[in-house]
Structure 1
Amino acid sequence: MAARPERSRWRCRPPYTGRVRKHDDPCSRADAPDIRAVHPPCSASSAHIPLEGIVSVSVEELCAVASHILRTTRYMTLGTASTAGVPMVTPLAHAWDDQDAFYWFSGAESVHSLNIERNPVVSIVVFDSNPPDGGGQGLYACGRAEALQGDALAEGCEIYYSRRYPDPAARSERYRPPAQFRDPAPNRLYRARIESYSVLSPEGHPVHGDTVSHRVAIPFRTGLLAGPRPSRRPCPTGSDHGAAGGPRPR
């Protein structure tokens, strides 16, 4: 009888300890205050959850997964909600700085922009939409967004265009000055300050294994990404039983 192949450590579940630790997602807490009355800080309940007993993969490895996703994916999906709780998701070109802030520009009258004006709490997911089946992974984030003005707008323009277009020729062609993001111009430059991050567990759910997608919080910071961007390459995947081509949202 042929020897059984060694099982990948990215798919190996740790022993069940009899207790399930659920990812505490501050963007979807059932007991969150009514957003029509108050906008609680996104990080109010986003303290890092220990990974022991959930996955045997180290925190450093999970942060490396997050780094790879962010370095090799040029678009993000932004989630907003109206004051009545009506959700909106929007794919956007983006850039990020070393202080956990994400930047993008949109029309001031777009639905997601109007949502941010009234309810600044946002969710973001960055993921490759074309992996093989079972190969999806994503970086999830939660924070608060705003339209930039004054000195922050000038600084934001420099960050957005220098990070998104590192080639000087491409940046010179695409650059828009701050005046194009003020009245009466139709667009605004936005910044979301991220307060918590999570990724899909590479080892699946602690009880149900690979049949259920499961997210774990990670102490990731964009400051870890300082340095040149690597070439695109495969990265460790999470449990993916959603639609083909992307991670299944939880």
Structure 2
Amino acid sequence: MTGETDGTRSAAREIIDGNMYMVLATVGADGAPWAAPLFYSTEDGRDFYWVSSPEVTHSRNLAHEPRVGIVIHDSRAPVGTAAPRALYMTATATELDGAQALEGLRVIPAPAGRGGRAIAPDEVRPPAPWRVYRARVSAYSMICPRDGGRPCAEHGLDHEHRADVRL
């Protein structure tokens, strides 16, 4: 479903900027799904960076299948209002090394006050236990808000549905 508005774009940006964790959905070599909450950093809302061990399930899954789903949501939203407070993304994720890893470390953990810490390059180079990862988003969508159970003002639909968003 298409039909974004400036309000949808700004709501999407507020979700990205106002949260610290995303849920990364991956799939393993055996086809089993896996979801992991991860602390993320981003400057532009297109590239999301995080640090993980290459041995954890989501990192092993990325080595097999780089296509991922991501959700950022406000889990504190009252029941019935959560739908407009979630952003869904389709992305391609990869482990970074060399100059790309350094670029990720430049972004992590910004902006200040999010609770993360700066990470030194030696902390993410073998044989260190951590690596830098990036998910590059190719598509965004949000569930269209409906006021009091009424149909969505933009699409006239009275059931939950998504609208594409461009940042």
- Shift of residue 99 of structure 1? 6.4
Q: Which structure 2 residues correspond to residues 131-146 of structure 1 after superposition, within 5 A? A: 131-136=77-82, 137-146=85-94
- Structure 1 residue matching 2:34: 3-state secondary structure: strand
Structure-1 separation of matches of 2:57 and 2:37: 13
- Shift of residue 175 of structure 1? 1.9
Structure-2 separation of matches of 1:98 and 1:106: 21
Structure 1 residue ranges without an equivalent (≥5): 1-22, 24-48, 52-57, 221-250
Deviations 1:23-71 (A, max 9, x none): 4xxxxxxxxxxxxxxxxxxxxxxxxx3x2xxxxxx51111011011111
- Shift of residue 85 of structure 1? 2.1
Is the alpha carbon distance of 1:127 and 1:99 closer, same or farther for their aligned partners in structure 2, counting shifts above 3 Å?
closer
Contact 2:53/2:129, CA 8 A, preserved across alignment = yes
Structure 2 residue ranges without an equivalent (≥5): none
- From the CA coordinates, give the structure whose radius of gyration is larger: 1
Q: Which structure 2 residues correspond to residues 108-187 of structure 1 after superposition, within 5 A? A: 108-136=54-82, 137-161=85-109, 163-164=110-111, 166=112, 174-187=117-130
AA of the residue aligned to 1:213:
E
- Shift of residue 123 of structure 1? 0.8
Is the alpha carbon distance of 1:116 and 1:64 closer, same or farther for their aligned partners in structure 2, counting shifts above 3 Å?
same
Provide the aligned length of Structure 1 versus Structure 2.
158
Structure 1 stretches of 4+ with a deviation exceeding 4 A read 204-208
Q: 2:18 aligns with which of 61, 72, 84?
A: 72
Deviations 1:147-192 (A, max 9, x none): 110011111101113x24x25xx77xx2221111121111111001
Calculate the aligned-residue CA RMSD, in Å.
Answer: 1.9
Structure ranking higher in strand proportion? 2
Structure-1 separation of matches of 2:164 and 2:106: 31
Structure-2 separation of matches of 1:200 and 1:65: 11
Deviations 1:184-240 (A, max 9, x none): 11111100110000011013565761xx321111112xxxxxxxxxxxxxxxxxxxx
Q: 2:51 aligns with which of 105, 126, 129?
A: 105
Structure-2 separation of matches of 1:143 and 1:132: 28
- Shift of residue 131 of structure 1? 0.9
AA of the residue aligned to 1:120:
P
- Which residue in the other structure is 2:142 paired with? 199
Structure-2 separation of matches of 1:84 and 1:196: 26
- TM-score under structure 2 normalisation? 0.86
- Structure 2 residue matching 1:131: 3-state secondary structure: coil
Is the alpha carbon distance of 1:86 and 1:207 closer, same or farther for their aligned partners in structure 2, counting shifts above 3 Å?
farther
AA of the residue aligned to 2:131:
R
- Structure 2 residue matching 1:96: 3-state secondary structure: coil
- Shift of residue 91 of structure 1? 0.5
- TM-score under structure 1 normalisation? 0.59
AA of the residue aligned to 2:29:
T
Structure-1 separation of matches of 2:73 and 2:27: 21
Structure-1 separation of matches of 2:36 and 2:26: 8
